[in-house]
Amino acid sequence: MNGNVKRHGNNHHEVQLDHGALHVFASDELFSAFDAKVYEMADNNLRIPRNVYMGYTPDVHVGVGTCIGTTAVWRARDGFVSPSIVGVDIGCGMRVHLTPLHKRDIQDPAVRRQLIEAIERYVPTNERTNSHYADIDIMEVVKHGLRGLPDKYVLDARWLTHVEEATFKFDHAFLSELPAKIRKNAHGQLGTLGSGNHFIELQTLELAEEARSTAEQWGLFDGQAVVMIHSGSRAWGAMLGREFTKSLKETMHLWGIENPDPNLIYAPAVSQEGKTYFNLMYSALNFAVANRHMIAFGVRQALKDVFGEDFELPVLYDLMHNYALKEFHRNEAMIVHRKGATRALPPGHFMNAPAYKSTGHPALIPGSMGTSSYIMVGREAGAKNFYSICHGAGRARSRRATKELVTVDQFAQSLKVGTEDEILVNHRSLAAILDECPQAYKDVDQIIDSVTGAGLAEVVAKCKPMAAIKGI
């Protein structure tokens, strides 16, 4: 790494690169282990004019054009928007639902296997299987988000209010610029899981003693069984991202704009190209929040099949970690890009959903399959990173390298296969999902310790996996 490093208290390093300052929130151990490529990518990002701020969370790792784990900010009046800093899976994020169940209620492997099979009946996990919700007009969904769903799928007010946004508002006229193939390919995908690192997990909670009051206000209790969902905007966001990466790359060439990284694409936010991308990106955010909603609807139906028709599944929260949002910071309108970064607002912050104004909202951080996930809450000190924290453990090695270095037996050991504490998965062959094994990721506990040590957020509950459902 080239550049001077300043320390700003615990786990906060400011790295001066050739084109600007990069703020890194990580323990000394994690900071010292970062690959030089993450700094090279940061410096390329900092070449985009008039950058206000750029930060990395401790789960940072190399991505396409921009690292996953990036917060990058420009002023709305003269700044830039970048599809590369948003990422291809626009609106990818997390959702947690609460149950009245205790760990002992799902401890029996036979019960957990029954739950997995029931969920798979309602939530397609195979890329070639279509949605069960043919009566939903996806154009209404991309225009209006959760408010574009038929009433029968909105079970109570919490399913609309306990979310980062129920509807991301934008100018629908921009939808006319979408290629027809995007609508065609996204048709039939609402309520489907997707592959890669997306999942549905049955977990049980261990509350953090120092945050017990907050946990109880949120309806959490020790040993509680919860459902965590990780998915995004599926083909709608993926194809939109690819289309605009291609078109903006051609526009940048016409403008004479160059960057050492050809995969780093951006445009002035007030340009026609910037406005088009911004508006259509919001359509993908609407698809993403509705997709997780419909996955949860399917999970609810599955749990009713197992535990009876009176069973309910109240939502705790839904939020995203791949987007660019117009937010108000430092008394000014800003464009805040979060690529693999989670917004974590503190108690009292005006951007909190009304239900969480007094406590701060739940920040949902997945671990890797076989390790714990976390429910956190932001703290005032998070302002120094524009209220962004990690979005997970962060990959430690590529999918190819994982398959070369990790055996199926090692994967099985990490899932405690054959023991009473086995974490059940929906795949009979672990080889099919070997690239998602815990050994592919960093130590999530070290990541969380870095975030709490930097004062960005604190842990409310640790979520221990009992069963995992992965797509292929």
Q: What is the pLDDT of residues 125-159, one digit of tens each?
A: 877 678 889 899 999 999 999 999 999 999 999 99
Q: What is the pLDDT of residues 378-400, one digit of tens each?
A: 999 999 999 999 999 888 788 88
Residue 122, domain member (yes or no): yes
Residue 394, annotated as binding a ligand: yes
Domain that holds residue 342: 4-396+441-470
Q: Within the chain, what is the greatest distance between any pair of CA atoms?
A: 63
Residue 409, annotated as binding a ligand: no
Query: Residue 333 maps to which CATH number?
Result: 3.90.1860.10
Given this model, what pLDDT does residue 417 score? 87
Residue 427, domain member (yes or no): no
Residue 262, domain member (yes or no): yes
Residue 418, domain member (yes or no): no
Residue 89, annotated as binding a ligand: yes
Non-local (6+) Cβ contacts of 130 within 8 A are: 124, 188, 189, 192
> Does the active-site annotation cover 391?
yes
Residue 414, domain member (yes or no): no
Q: How much is the mean pLDDT over the chain?
A: 93
Residue 411, domain member (yes or no): no
Residue 198, annotated as binding a ligand: yes
Number of domains in the chain: 1
Q: Looking at the predicted structure, is the pLDDT value of residue 330 above 80?
A: yes
Residue 404, domain member (yes or no): no
Q: Looking at the predicted structure, is the pLDDT value of residue 230 above 70?
A: yes
Given this model, what pLDDT does residue 370 score? 83
Q: What is the pLDDT of residues 20-58, one digit of tens each?
A: 999 999 999 999 999 999 999 999 999 999 999 999 999
Query: Which entry of 13, 329, 391, 427 is annotated as an active-site residue?
Result: 391
Q: Looking at the predicted structure, is the pLDDT value of residue 3 above 80?
A: no
**Which residue would you say has higher pLDDT here, 137 or 432?**
137
